[in-house]
Amino acid sequence: METREKILLEAVKLFASAGFGAVTVDRIASAVGIKAPSLYKHFKSKRDIFQSILSEMERRDAENAESFSLPADTAENDPEGYQGIPVTALLGFCREMFVYWTEDEFASAFRRMLTVEQYRSEEMNRLYHQYLGEGPLQYTADLLGSYDEALTLYAPMHLLYGIYDSAGDKQAVTARLEQHLKTWYKERTGGNDNELSEK
Amino acid sequence: METREKILLEAVKLFASAGFGAVTVDRIASAVGIKAPSLYKHFKSKRDIFQSILSEMERRDAENAESFSLPADTAENDPEGYQGIPVTALLGFCREMFVYWTEDEFASAFRRMLTVEQYRSEEMNRLYHQYLGEGPLQYTADLLGSYDEALTLYAPMHLLYGIYDSAGDKQAVTARLEQHLKTWYKERTGGNDNELSEK
DNA sequence: ATTATAGGCTAATAATCATTAGCCGTCAAT
DNA sequence: ATTGACGGCTAATGATTATTAGCCTATAAT
């Protein structure tokens, strides 16, 4: 891995556990395996590292969006994209998202970093909600046509992210998610894989 | 308010938004309206302030537990306490909890502080889950006799805590919670206020 | 072959920070 | 009236930290 990328990965992991303000450039450097001044050959400041993490996530996010089967845009900008999607496709999307935010090393650390930085500034708060809070909730609500149903589908995923982080048996948490999705599906459709828009 | 209490309140608010490591004793002091060295007349170190916040929360928690109508112990230690509780009592308890963690100044800041400190150490992680994660979830699961139902009841509350924090219209978030509790109640009981144990 | 660039290093710097020393006024108890 | 504890203050100190200066090596381009 290139040094620059390695710096971003180690930095996001450190920011995730201690927060930006409590991580020293020395600790980042030693996690990478270099000395602190060498960091400045790649980034112009500690803050620049942080900003580059945000950019990197944005890049990966855009990259991933193409491989997903669901509409990436919001309901207002793209109302036609929401027609004729089967509920099972939505559940598959939920599984994909869960695996992504828990098992992808960068994404998982980024999620924890946003969690601990969310109250520091208006912008961090915006990003937290965009990626992990009201963003996905609203997206789900648009698909389901019901805010309340979106809550019962998405909120458990959100809670399980945090439980997954410290779980000894990660597999058991994934099983809980699976159980949740199955139960939710049964409660909602009675077993028929209706299209979302026919609700 | 006594200076000591005021220090704890201002400190927990600052720790909530920036994290322990990023808050200087100078900032705490100036929020209180004194100079930094004066803090040391009340606490022996910055870390001592942090620990005292934990103790203070523990004290308030014990104080509050008495005024609640639901059993405070866990199901294993007190299995009889879980008999004959009406579902509506559980919903009332949920409302109480939501108001407490969002509107009580100290409790709200404490919740945000735990949220941003949860990945720093094993102990912080334990406390986060005890107060806000698996703790209340397991408690609810014990009452309902179903982990899955507990998820659909508690997880939305947990997600709405975070949404409440940055909401312009706090009243609207409380309304969303109310809507969630009502829908959950209807879905579960069909309108009959059964006792939990009869499930 | 020479050169330029990238990316590592050590040493130095200036700022920030937690903490201590020691002083002073207030006020309740003797 | 005296005392002593409480709780504020200023000034000082030592540790930590982000950042810069300047040097060295390897490698790629001319």
**CATH number of the domain encompassing residue B45:** 1.10.10.60
CB contact under 8 A, A133 and B162: yes
Distances (CA, A) of A29 to A4, A8, A46, A116, B83: 11, 11, 11, 21, 57
Q: Does the residue A63 lie in any domain?
A: no
- Cβ of A41 near strand C (distance < 7 A): yes
Distance B168 CA to C8 C1' (A): 50
Last residue of a domain, one of B27, B56, B85: B56
Question: Does the pLDDT at position A104 exceed 70?
Answer: yes
- Asked if A42 and A92 sit in the same domain, the reply is no
Among A2-6, A79-83, B183-187, where is mean pLDDT lowest?
A79-83
Q: How would you write the pLDDT of chain B (199 residues) with one tens digit per residue?
A: 799 999 999 999 999 999 999 999 999 999 999 999 999 999 999 999 999 999 999 999 998 888 876 776 665 666 555 667 888 999 999 999 999 999 999 999 999 999 999 999 999 999 999 999 999 999 999 999 999 999 999 999 999 999 999 999 999 999 999 999 999 999 887 656 666 654 4
Distance B37 CA to C27 C1' (A): 22
Q: Does the residue A62 lie in any domain?
A: no
Pairwise pLDDT comparison (B176 vs A193), residue with the higher score: B176
**Min Cα separation B185/chain A (Å):** 12
- Asked if B5 and B39 sit in the same domain, the reply is yes
Q: For residue A67, what pLDDT is reported? A: 80
A86 by DSSP, 3-state: which? strand
pLDDT, mean of residues A18-40 = 97
In this prediction, what percent of chain A has a pLDDT beyond 90? 80
**Min Cα separation A66/chain B (Å):** 28
Q: How many domains, chain A?
A: 2
Q: B130 and chain A: CB distance < 8 Å anywhere?
A: no
> Residue A70 carries which side chain, given as an amino acid letter?
L
Q: For residue A161, what pLDDT is reported? A: 98
- Asked if A156 and A84 sit in the same domain, the reply is yes
- Nearest residue in B to A181, CA atom: B148
- Asked if B42 and B118 sit in the same domain, the reply is no
- Asked if B72 and B131 sit in the same domain, the reply is yes
- Asked if A85 and A159 sit in the same domain, the reply is yes
> What are the φ/ψ torsions at residue B190 (nearest 5 degrees)?
70, 10
DSSP B75-106: TTT-GGGGTT-BHHHHHHHHHHHHHHHHHSHH
- Asked if B92 and B24 sit in the same domain, the reply is no
Q: For residue B62, what pLDDT is reported? A: 92
- Asked if A3 and A94 sit in the same domain, the reply is no
Q: Which residues of A touch B120 (CB under 8 A)?
A: 17-19
Domain that includes residue B155, residue range: 68-197
- Asked if A80 and A171 sit in the same domain, the reply is yes
Q: Does the residue B20 lie in any domain?
A: yes
Q: Does the residue B63 lie in any domain?
A: no
Q: For residue B67, what pLDDT is reported? A: 80
- Asked if A52 and A73 sit in the same domain, the reply is no
Q: For residue A189, what pLDDT is reported? A: 74
Distances (CA, A) of B61 to A103, A131, B7, B14: 35, 33, 19, 21
Nearest to B119 among A16, A120, A147 (CB): A16
pLDDT, mean of residues A140-167 = 97
- Asked if A103 and A144 sit in the same domain, the reply is yes
Q: Does the residue B140 lie in any domain?
A: yes
- Asked if B4 and B36 sit in the same domain, the reply is yes
Among A9-13, A70-74, B58-62, where is mean pLDDT lowest?
A70-74
Q: Does the residue B153 lie in any domain?
A: yes
Q: Does the residue B62 lie in any domain?
A: no
Q: B17 and chain A: CB distance < 8 Å anywhere?
A: yes
**Host H or E run for residue A164:** helix A147-166
Which alpha helices (DSSP H) does A104-146 contain, by range?
105-117, 122-131, 134-144
Q: Does the residue B102 lie in any domain?
A: yes
Q: For residue B64, what pLDDT is reported? A: 85
